[in-house]
Amino acid sequence: MSRDRSADNQGKPKAGKTGAEARGSVRGFGRLGEALSGLREEIRTQQRRTFTAPKEDERGADWNSLFDELRKRVRTLGMVEHEPVVDEFGMEVAYLEQQKPFFDFMFERYWRVNLRGATRPKPSKPVVFVANFSGILPWDAMMLAHAIGRGRPTEARPRFLVQDRVLALPFAQAQLARIGGVRSCRENLDKLLAKQRSVIAFPESKEQPARSYRDRYQVTPFVDTSAVLAAAKAGCAVVPVGIVGAEDATPRLGDMAMLAKLASRDLGIPKLPSTPVFPLLGPLGLLPLPAKWVISLGEPVPARTVVEHAETETALELNGVLRARIQALVEGGLESRSSTWA
């Protein structure tokens, strides 16, 4: 606007006394001046139209509109921003998309996840990911799902299986279901694969308590055959995944059975999670530490091979093979990072 004005001012004195003379003498400047004066006139009429209508001074009108806007905002504060829509496993696509920046932050900045190994499987065919289990809250599953689902439609994100121990924590079931967590059992696996959804499974023993920090990254024998059996039934490939970093992010030092029991039985508060730093730091103790993560995708076991292991005995055999490969992937991941934090 200011530049226009200066051009206008420059044009005027050179243009002479009247508009007609100017047009005759300096044709180029004259045409510009004409256009600019037309524009100025238009702006003036516009301004007149907007500011003279309320018959108030300009400041008053501004404040009024501000108050109107504020009132509108306040009125819609407690209202529904989006209609809640969840799929049959309770996943809320809108919520996931809303939370995407948070997951991106955790993935890229906080844990600086390094995704290594084979290419991501295509989303068109369901795949069963089998990974090592770690931590109390399923951060590993969330990050793996995020790593595979990035840049793809949210509906196609792989679902992750959650163990009962985690689901029993307060707020866990609802929150995990929203972001794609499903209780770990055979029926759910079959149904997910039948619906063409990829699944992330953790077949390490359910009964085994979370590993202590000393034994981190020792993958225990896979007792749970349901992942392999379901994959064999659905005829889909199995991808071994080694996750490094999750156990450093949530180290487990001790148990808090006493406090949890007291809270759940005598105070009527649902069971508290027993993380190591929880009592010391309050809710902050639930925050994981910023360790460096490495997620290594192994070579997929093709569907053909998986189908051959449809019996419990043979499934256990395949489980043993998968465990060994995941242990190798984990060790490779451990070697690839220079320290726990970098």
Partner 1 sequence: MNPPCCVAVTGVDTFFGRRLVERWSQTDSAPRIVHCDLSQTDLSERFREEHVESVVHLSLQDVPGVESERGLASDLSSTQALLDACAKAGIRRLVIPSSTMCYGPRLENPQHMSEDARLYGQPDTRWVSTRVQIEQRVATFRDQFPLCDVTVLRYCWVMGPAYLDAIVRYFEADWVPSVLGHDPLLQFVHEDDVLDTLEAAALRPHPGTFNVVGDGLLPLSGYLRLAGKWNVPTPERLLSFVSDAPLPFSGAHRGRGFCDYLKYIWLASGERAGNEFGPRTYSSQEAWLSMVGARRLRDYQARN
Backbone angles phi, psi at 239, to 5 degrees: -115, 115
Compare residues 181 and 245 and give the one whose CB is closer to partner 1.
Answer: 181
Least distance CB 173 / partner 1 (angstroms): 7
Least distance CB 79 / partner 1 (angstroms): 8
Compare residues 71 and 195 and give the one whose CB is closer to partner 1.
Answer: 195
Query: What does the alpha-carbon distance between residue 189 and residue 180 come to, in Å, rounded to a whole number?
Result: 13
Query: What does the alpha-carbon distance between residue 113 and residue 337 come to, in Å, rounded to a whole number?
Result: 11
Backbone angles phi, psi at 243, to 5 degrees: -110, 120
Q: Which residues bind partner 1 (CB under 8 A)?
A: 80, 83-84, 86, 88-90, 164, 167-168, 170-171, 173-174, 177-178, 182-183, 185, 187-188, 191, 267-270
Compare residues 270 and 302 and give the one whose CB is closer to partner 1.
Answer: 270
Query: What does the alpha-carbon distance between residue 232 and residue 307 come to, in Å, rounded to a whole number?
Result: 4
Q: Identify which of 275, 241, 212 has the alpha carbon closest to the alpha carbon of residue 143.
A: 241
Strands 294-297 and 238-244: antiparallel
Compare residues 267 and 284 and give the one whose CB is closer to partner 1.
Answer: 267
Instruction: Report residue 82 CA to chain centroid gap.
Output: 18
Q: Identify which of 292, 304, 302 has the alpha carbon closest to the alpha carbon of residue 335.
A: 292
Compare residues 116 and 191 and give the one whose CB is closer to partner 1.
Answer: 191
Please report which helix (H) or strand (E) contains residue 241, including its range.
Answer: strand 238-244
Compare residues 58 and 83 and give the one whose CB is closer to partner 1.
Answer: 83
β-sheet bridge partners, residue 297: 117, 241
> Strands (DSSP E) along 29-187, which ranges?
114-117, 128-131, 159-162, 181-183
Least distance CB 45 / partner 1 (angstroms): 46
Task: Check: CB of residue 228 under 8 Å from CB of residue 306.
Answer: yes
Query: What does the alpha-carbon distance between residue 221 and residue 47 come to, in Å, rounded to a whole number?
Result: 77
Query: What does the alpha-carbon distance between residue 268 and residue 284 come to, in Å, rounded to a whole number?
Result: 22
Least distance CB 77 / partner 1 (angstroms): 13
Least distance CB 196 / partner 1 (angstroms): 16
Least distance CB 305 / partner 1 (angstroms): 28
70: helix, coil or strand?
helix
Compare residues 167 and 277 and give the one whose CB is closer to partner 1.
Answer: 167
Compare residues 90 and 235 and give the one whose CB is closer to partner 1.
Answer: 90
Least distance CB 223 / partner 1 (angstroms): 17
Q: To which residue do tokens 């395949």 refer?
A: 318
Task: Check: CB of residue 324 under 8 Å from CB of residue 237.
Answer: no
Compare residues 92 and 248 and give the one whose CB is closer to partner 1.
Answer: 92
Q: In the numeric block, which tokens belong to residue 260?
A: 């949890």
Residues 6+ apart with CB under 8 A from 162: 138, 141, 172, 176, 181, 182, 183, 184
Least distance CB 189 / partner 1 (angstroms): 10
Least distance CB 81 / partner 1 (angstroms): 10
